[in-house]
Chains A and B, each alone.
Chain A
Amino acid sequence: MKLGGVTLATLLAAAFASPAFAQDDSAVMAAELARQKAALERLERREAERSNAEREAAERAKTEPALRLSGYVQLDWVLHNQASQNEVNYSTGAPLNQDRFTLRRAHLRAASERGYLTGALEIDANTVNGPQLRPINAELGVRFPARDDPKQPRFSLVAGLIRIPFGFELQELDFVRPFLERSTAARAFFPGEFDLGVRFRAQYRFFDLSLAVMNGHPLGDRSFPALAPNQKKEIIGHLGVQGEIAPGVSVAAGLSADTGNGFHEGNGTSKDRLVWRDENGDGIVQATEVQVIAGSSATPAEQFHRFALGADARFGIRFGEHAEFELRAELVRASNLDRAIEPADPVAVGHDLRQLGWYLGATQEVTRWAIVGVRYDFYDPDQDAREQQAVQVVPRDRSYRTVSFLAMLRYAEARLSLQYDLNRNALGRAANGAPTSLASDALTARAQLRF
């Protein structure tokens, strides 16, 4: 107000001091005066709005509960899965039937923000491999400034069981992601999406940088989930930019990197064993068929290097309210990083396992009630795979390819999704003995409710 008053007085003084005012330029000066008045009023209005917003925020902070509870439930019904068998896997005891109801995720999250301090605990219940209740996110941290202001640089440091900062897909929350599950490559490289460690994050305007030091064995790791058999830590980072380049057109892109060490288990000392091999298939023990397998001394565990480089991009166009089109893509080049689909162990295999994964997906809002989408994802767990085929050693394609078709209905915080996954792999055998796809297409319905 004071600034506005001074400016107005100065303008008026200057205007009346001019001898030419009354005679020649009275009309021009009047217009200028009106323009300045309008600008001043705009400034005053904006200043008042900001003050009101700050006051409201301060009052809200006083009345906010100390703990915020939220959560969601995702219930799946696999309507059809070609891989389904009414048998069990005799090595794991897990049923092979996939056509079933599954509680995919039921999350309850408690979060608290007090000035510079933040904390959260999220519990996951599911029946994917039988009833399971586990912590999925448990973190405590500090942040600066104490209150989020997009115009200011923001820094945070959190520790605990935290989300792995690699790429875009891993950061996207499960209840936000339109497709039912993440791409095959993401599930292979970062199973479970959470790992124990420390993460630093810096955000300013359209930049977003995350750096983390973690155990390197995420929750979904097939060998040592949420444990750490080796001392060396995994270092992971993501640098992203995000912004609106034109009204209704948004772009986001990022680069990620991961370097760490995998673990190859050694063996304990084994005892001598007598083994009967029924060489002639007559079912009777002959002296020549009994062999001694001499015991061996223990072998030490070994470590191996693994890394990944990734790039992600999203592009969105808003054609109107509830008519947004989004294109998303991600590419990851890795070495020895598979921890879930075909766990990589270069010590056992004898060579480094080069991996490549990428996906391209598109979604389109169709009114406020529906979204449709399609995604192609590709994952090759060993680009140098070879196999003996008759008299020749030939390259072997071991890739997994999936085309997902999605249709989703939504109302308020509820979603009903139907997704068909057209899965192609190299796990079966064709009549000529060459690898071919093992039938595993799936049609899944999912109901989701957030609260």
Chain B
Amino acid sequence: MRALYSMPWLVGSALLVVACSGGASNDPALGSRMRIVDAQFVSGATPSAQSGPEVAASELLTTTIWPGNANKPLRGTLGGAATAAALALSGDAGYWLVPAGPPDVSAPALPTFRCTASFSRMLSDSAYTLEVRAVDAQGSFGPPLRQTLTVLPASPSRSVTGDLVVSLSWDNEADLDLHVLDPLGNEIYHGAPSSIDAFAAGASKESAGILDFDSNADCEDDQLRQENVVWRQEPPSGRYSVRVDSASLCGRSVAHWNVRATLHDLQLGAAQGTSLDSDTWGAHDRGAGLLALGFDVP
């Protein structure tokens, strides 16, 4: 019975161990602006002391990034004593540690680093500073090598320009489809991705509405999660209707979507909504989907 009184001590000791135990962070840092695959995230700024080795060179093929930019290769050459590289993007809550790798043939005595970085969809500034520091076996950080990364508004391959643009975007792996009904009665969707067939012979292709992509089709997650119908020139005047068809939620319980229509870069209308499992029932062909937005083009 007397030993029973030692239980609080045991619990106290365990709590002390809890307070003292350390270890590297498990934080995947999905909220940070820059993420590096298979690297260790460390919260806080890099140490101010600069007694460690230098970064011999940091190689970036381009100094441009854009929101949602994925798999951007980063590499460089470190000082001879370096065993790791620390990479940080300005404004982030921490930095990433990448172990040093084997030397290049061009500098056989110098270790290198190679990694791929991804950037948040929420990049808001027009430029960020990438800071690379070499770290030696004692954990001493060297002086930083800084490079400016310019932020583009969107991926060059995904830039959508036109007189009239109707966009649907959503937040997860769900397979949603954009349907746009133009004033001529043409419905543009994945089953009829262009309104050009309905035009009279000799009509310009530029004045047709065209669906650019069927994103997440058959639940194959392409990470785009956006579809656009674009008229490059002279959209027909009159009333347009936009519908959102939920083909499948692909295992998710809901999908949140946004619809936006812009004419000459001026917003004509916008709508937000949520797709539920019940929205996936029924046919997903012409005429399918819920009415999300209506607008007039003069």
Contacts and interface: CB of A to CB of B under 8 A. Distances in A.
B138 interface: yes
A372 B10 contact: yes
B84 A429 contact: yes
Interface in B251-277: 251
B43 to A, nearest CB: 12
Contacts of A388: 99, 101-102
A28 interface: no
A357 B95 CA distance: 35
Contact of A367 (B1, B83, B97, B158): B1
Interface in B240-259: 251
Given A428-B24, A430-B139, A433-B99, A278 B3 contact: no
Contacts of B39: 429
B4 A367 contact: yes
A283 interface: yes
Interface in A72-98: 80, 82-85, 87, 93, 96
A370 B7 contact: yes
Given A366-B4, A367-B3, A405 B82 contact: no
Given A279-B61, A367-B4, A433 B27 contact: no
- Identify whether the interface residues of B are mostly helix, strand, loop, or mixed: mixed
A405 B61 contact: no
B136 A80 contact: no
A85 B39 CA distance: 17
Contacts of A281: 60-62, 64, 72-73
B137 A432 contact: yes
A434 interface: yes
Contacts of A439: 21-26
Contact of B156 (A283, A370, A429, A433): A283
Contacts of A224: none
A322 to B, nearest CB: 10
Contacts of B98: 433
Interface string B137-152: 1110100000000001
A85 B139 CA distance: 27
Interface residues of B, number: 59
Nearest to A405: B14
Nearest to B31: A87
A391 interface: yes
A431 B94 CA distance: 13
Contact of A82 (B23, B111, B141, B251): B23
A431 B135 contact: yes
B155 A283 contact: yes
B280 interface: no
Contact of B42 (A84, A280, A284, A431): A431
Interface of B: 1, 3-4, 6-7, 10-11, 13-14, 17-18, 21-28, 30, 39-40, 42, 60-62, 64, 66, 69, 71-73, 78, 82-86, 97-103, 109, 111, 135-139, 141, 152, 155-158, 251
Interface of A: 80, 82-85, 87, 93, 96, 278-285, 364, 366-367, 369-370, 372, 387-391, 405, 407, 409, 418, 420, 422, 424, 427-434, 436-441, 443
Task: Sort A-B residue pairs by CB-CB distance and give the 6 closest, nearest first.
Answer: A428-B24, A433-B84, A439-B23, A429-B40, A433-B99, A390-B111
